[in-house]
Amino acid sequence: MIQAIGLTSNPRKELPPAVDDVSFEAPAGRVTVLLGAPGAGKTTALRLMLELQPGRGITYFRGRPLHRIDHPAREVGVLLGDVPGHPARTVRGHLRMLCAAAGLPARRADDVLETMGLVSLRDERLGTLSRGLNRRLGLACALLADPHTLVLDDFAHGLSVRENRSLYGVVRTYAEQGGTVLCTTADPKEAARISDRVITLEQGRVVADQATADFARTRLRPRVAVRSPHAARLSALLTKEARAARRSVEVVQEGGNRLSVYGSSCAAVGETAFRHGIVVHQLADEVGDMGPGATAAPPETSASPAVHAVTEEAAGAVATTTAPVDAPTATPVYAAATATTSETDADASGPVARALETEVLAPALATPALATPALATPAEAPAEPPARAAAPPPPATSSSSTPLQDEDAPGAPGAPDSSPALAPAPTALSELPPPITVRPAPSPLRPLRYEIRRATGIGTGFGIGAAVLIASVLTAVLSARLGHTPQPRLLAAWPRQLPLPPAALGAGLLGALAFGDEFRHPALAADRGTVPRRLGLLTAKLLVASLIALLLAVLTVGCDAEVLYLVYGGELVEVPDDWLALGASWLGLVTGCAWAGVLAAGVFRSTTAGLAAVLAVPLLVVPLVQWMSRGSSVRAAAGFPARVRELFPLGWPFGGERYLEGVLRLVAQPVGGAMALSVAALLCAYLLTNLRSRVR
């Protein structure tokens, strides 16, 4: 169950807040829809609930706010728009990365792929998926950890009718098994078709909170949609006949050649057009929106009305379809309207036209006998259904818990023989992923596994490494050609004209990219804000960044030495006497750049800020350190190892004074001291933000 209390976003300059004091409840076992026009505040409300945006108010998920839940991914499955993954990551690699983040076994990704019908696409890149497959993958990501709640933001927008039906079938099955579903939409007809309760937002405020039956009775209205090149003439005739017969019929000209006729039927409108020889291109039963600012969507793009295409064989001949809407107060259910053609009387003048029927999904207004028990008797429903994972699967005959098969597919019941060829339907989704019966125990290797999968799942890191090696080799060869560069700097490809060597810049860039996925994916927001500020994850990122930096540093020196040997001989690649101190300084510099990139990206929540922090070390911090080190402070610190040795008369174990002296010499260098100062400051800032989020 979801309880949102007083959600209010921060005002934007002089504009009012996008969400102002929004409160509602979404019970378990039901589908709750937030309805509103674009800009009404639906997405902002969801982001406030998920603590992805600063504001006031609080949201309880089964009695606990999100930041008090140890494993949010196992409590709430989230889909906000498209899948926020790296375009170069594969479908299977993306799911396996999320499994590692949630502490799930890797085989869980294969189970979800099989259930969602994505097994054949597991090696496809995210950037190549169509909109329908992207939304299906997003729903698979939301269901990956077997959560108790689904929060979906207009996840079926822009999809075809069959794709909508497939995804809504999964959502309905999930709710029937005891889960809580909260989704958003801007289409009132779609809200009435898929939901048990509709909460209407307007200008950031709740203006209505209704059961679906009440919403359909007060907001939706049956109508007949007509398209004709003689729309104005037909409108006048329909108005004249209704006035003569003293019937309440309203004819609204929507624009162009489209009419909306309220209070009549397809049969009556078709007979009027037939008697007066008016050509009709489209005649269909629809459900119109009577809400504020509602506009009628064209039938070509609308996914909700029941559209029965009518074609003519001769001018003036019209075939009507019988799709009556007789129960506007009943609860709409997920059904397909089957149209039947009717022939005109044999004595009537003019040829007889037969309609070529195209069946699409319709928001049929069902009778009480067709309504599900959960919708028919909401008062008798239990306050808290059993846990979703422990609930038995719904019966195969349930009209609302199992996704409907395509009626126009070959062999499907009720499919007309004369149906035109349609696009192939997506794979039917008939069940949910298997529940997770035993939750894995917390493991200290969980964040490390996640970070390894994140870093190795795309080729960006390998591309950056290759570019660094090529740049280092070219820089070393050119510096040796020009001369005036010491041999240690040649091996590191670090001439005095450059603030940092290519290897250090590459390590800093890879470190700055370490938080990229956490900025985008709500499933990885394990704590307040879009960045999981947990020390375990930070330790894993620093460890992986260090290993990558060390590998890059060693490969850089090896490649530079090999190329210098091939070009200039062995004179430039001789091992210096103080190779140990130089090697330690080199590895410390590259590792420090990687750490600075990781910490800055985590603190400022930006990859650009991470790279800027690395560049700021030689350009800003080094001059500051040099200015501060002028005077007698350097001379006073020169004998620091000897004075420390006096405090320990037994001596340092394993020659520790030599290592301490090497570290001090490294820190005494301008770049080394500036890097140590920068890393320490960024680490303190990260820890302070972590403590602040825990206090909240």
Domain boundary among 186, 209, 228: 186
What would the 3-class secondary structure string for 144-209 be? CCCCCEEEEECCCCCCCHHHHHHHHHHHHHHHHCCCEEEEEECCHHHHHHHCCEEEEEECCEEEEE
Q: Kindly state the percentage of the chain with pLDDT values over 70.
A: 69
pTM equals 0.69
Average of pLDDT values for 253-282?
A: 91
The answer to the question of residue 201 being in a domain is no
Residue 87 neighbours by CB under 8 Å, 6+ apart:
125, 126, 127
Query: Are 619 and 470 in a shared domain?
Result: yes
Query: Are 240 and 370 in a shared domain?
Result: yes
Number of domains in the chain: 3
> What token pair was written down for 534?
């947990």
Query: Are 45 and 154 in a shared domain?
Result: yes
> What token pair was written down for 375?
């919708």
Query: Are 482 and 532 in a shared domain?
Result: yes
What confidence category does residue 371 fall into, taking pLDDT thresholds of 50, 70 and 90? very low
Query: Are 649 and 567 in a shared domain?
Result: yes
The answer to the question of residue 208 being in a domain is no
What per-residue confidence (pLDDT) applies to 676?
A: 81
Query: Are 173 and 227 in a shared domain?
Result: no
pLDDT per position as a tens digit, 15-51: 889 999 999 999 999 999 999 999 899 999 999 998 8
What per-residue confidence (pLDDT) applies to 620?
A: 84
Query: Are 221 and 121 in a shared domain?
Result: no
What confidence category does residue 662 fall into, taking pLDDT thresholds of 50, 70 and 90? low
The answer to the question of residue 278 being in a domain is yes
Give start and end residues of each alpha helix (H) in 513-606.
Answer: 516-520, 535-568, 579-604
What per-residue confidence (pLDDT) applies to 412?
A: 38
Query: Are 294 and 175 in a shared domain?
Result: no
Query: Are 96 and 241 in a shared domain?
Result: no
3-state secondary structure of 599: helix
For residue 533, pLDDT beyond 90: no
Query: Are 231 and 160 in a shared domain?
Result: no
What per-residue confidence (pLDDT) applies to 653?
A: 55
Residue 74 neighbours by CB under 8 Å, 6+ apart:
102, 145, 146, 147, 148, 439
The answer to the question of residue 490 being in a domain is yes
- Looking up residue 22, the CATH number of its domain turns out to be 3.40.50.300
- Quick one: how far is CA 504 from the chain centroid? 33
Distance between CA atoms of 304 and 272, rounded to whole angstroms?
27
Q: Exposure string (b/e) for 545-581, b if CB count within 10 Å is 16 or more?
A: bbebbeebbeebbebbbebbeeeeeeebbeeeeeeee
What per-residue confidence (pLDDT) applies to 375?
A: 32
What per-residue confidence (pLDDT) applies to 641?
A: 58
Query: Are 460 and 353 in a shared domain?
Result: no
pLDDT per position as a tens digit, 395-418: 333 333 333 333 333 333 333 333
- Look at residues 302, 366, 329, 363 and name the one whose alpha carbon lies nearest to residue 158: 302
Domain boundary among 337, 352, 380: 380
Average of pLDDT values for 150-158?
A: 88
What per-residue confidence (pLDDT) applies to 243?
A: 92
- Quick one: how far is CA 390 from the chain centroid? 27
The answer to the question of residue 48 being in a domain is yes
> What token pair was written down for 506?
């590459």
Query: Are 127 and 257 in a shared domain?
Result: no
CA distances to 413, 472, 577 from 561, rounded to whole Å, are 74, 11, 16
Residue 375 neighbours by CB under 8 Å, 6+ apart:
196, 212, 213, 331, 333, 400
What domain range includes position 468? 446-695
Distance between CA atoms of 323 and 293, rounded to whole angstroms?
27
The answer to the question of residue 417 being in a domain is no
402 vs 229, more confident: 229
What per-residue confidence (pLDDT) applies to 666?
A: 57
Average of pLDDT values for 220-239?
A: 91
What confidence category does residue 658 fall into, taking pLDDT thresholds of 50, 70 and 90? low
The answer to the question of residue 412 being in a domain is no
Average of pLDDT values for 433-443?
A: 67
Phi, psi of 313 (to 5 degrees): -100, -15
- CA-CA-CA-CA torsion sign (406, 412, 418, 423): positive
Domain boundary among 356, 380, 404: 380
What per-residue confidence (pLDDT) applies to 674?
A: 78
What per-residue confidence (pLDDT) applies to 424?
A: 37
The answer to the question of residue 485 being in a domain is yes
Distance between CA atoms of 368 and 604, rounded to whole angstroms?
56
